[in-house]
Structure 1
């Protein structure tokens, strides 16, 4: 069994052609990408590193990490989104980047201990077994390597902000993008990370002001949050 939901893959494939339109449904990803990129680069130092981007979609984060000097492999199971990512890399002349349609668990069996940095952003709330993703990401890391996760907390505030607010009121995302039952509490993600043998290094929240349309990182993990971990050397 591949750890993927066919409905989720179909949902993102339908929008594939709009990944690189900064005013499309993917506008929030374009807006938060510099924040995520700088945070990852500051902690792990991307220059010259071998990096895996799990659930890369159309390649927004993958492409920017390659432009920071990393050797990047982006993987996803949504084939149309991957084709968009590959086409963009060709058109933009992005160096040191490759894409593959492969499950993270399968890649972990094929290339264990191969990457300095693994990123898995806005993906775990879309798969049936997110703990399996955490374990696979850990297996793919070299000793001392970094893994970065981002997802959405599960509580009444996150339901109000991430679903009602983002999908219905502000229309930042298409309706049905998220399913509340699949949101993940930081304590749950931290438990999976520790069970996989990771050391937790830093947790950050991501906030949004609808009036200024500005995102920023903070200590508030009540809705969107990011977690940085390391595999012991």
Structure 2
């Protein structure tokens, strides 16, 4: 990836720019992010051995739902994104909530060149399936984390079940997400994620599934159920 051709899909940026005003509405198109945020935070906090006082980078922070949650749990948080409108919403909400988060509009690869080995924890959640080159994002995350630090990733598995649930179900039948949110061809198999992590010099230490129950409309973490949404923990040796 060159500076002249950043690792971004302009259509994806426009999509989330258009929805930015609704980012903090828990009943909006971002309801799923609000619903799963406590699970994501618990997973990261446990995997990181606590967050208090740690410097954390949230890659693809959008409107700041995860970033603010990390800060509320004691982390010193930097959130980065390439979308202008979501970052404006994140800044406005930060002023309202009083939660301290630093936001920057910068590509993760550019930040890795600027601040290598600067963070105790790097999170990249629900972003990899929206960029042209997810391996480049993972490599940048690996450069940004300090030796011994943790990188937390989440994405969607490229399976028929994921297509049925995440696209047909969530986008078209249940209306949980806007139509066109996901492109099945960009879903990532765990083996692919693991290979990119190894190439980046990371050690993959754990994977767990994120499972939705349509009857109770609740989510839970489920080890071994990686066939739709899943989270991964990596460490930089």
Measured against the shorter chain, the TM-score band is over 0.9
1:160-179 map, 5 Å: 160-179=164-183
Aligned to 1:125: 129
Matched, 1:15 2:19: yes
**1:118 alignment partner, SS class:** strand
Aligned to 1:216: 220
Note the alpha carbon deviations across 1:102-155, whole angstroms, 9 max, x for none.
000000000000000000000010000000000000000101000000000001
Aligned to 1:112: 116
Q: CA deviation at 1:26?
A: 0.2
Distance in 2 between residues matched to 1:211 and 1:187, nearest whole Å = 31
Aligned to 1:47: 52
1:148-187 map, 5 Å: 148-187=152-191
Distance in 2 between residues matched to 1:158 and 1:134, nearest whole Å = 22
Matched, 1:71 2:76: yes
Which consecutive residues of structure 2, in runs of 5 or more, have no partner in the other structure?
none
TM norm structure 1: 0.98
**Quick one: which of 144, 149, 157 aligns to 1:145?**
149
Distance in 2 between residues matched to 1:43 and 1:122, nearest whole Å = 18
**Quick one: which of 88, 102, 109 aligns to 2:106?**
102
Runs (4+) of structure 1 exceeding 4 A deviation are none
Aligned to 2:230: 225
Note the alpha carbon deviations across 1:69-92, whole angstroms, 9 max, x for none.
000000000010000001101111
Which consecutive residues of structure 1, in runs of 5 or more, have no partner in the other structure?
none
Matched, 1:88 2:93: yes
TM norm structure 2: 0.97
CA RMSD of aligned residues (A): 0.5
**2:182 alignment partner, SS class:** coil
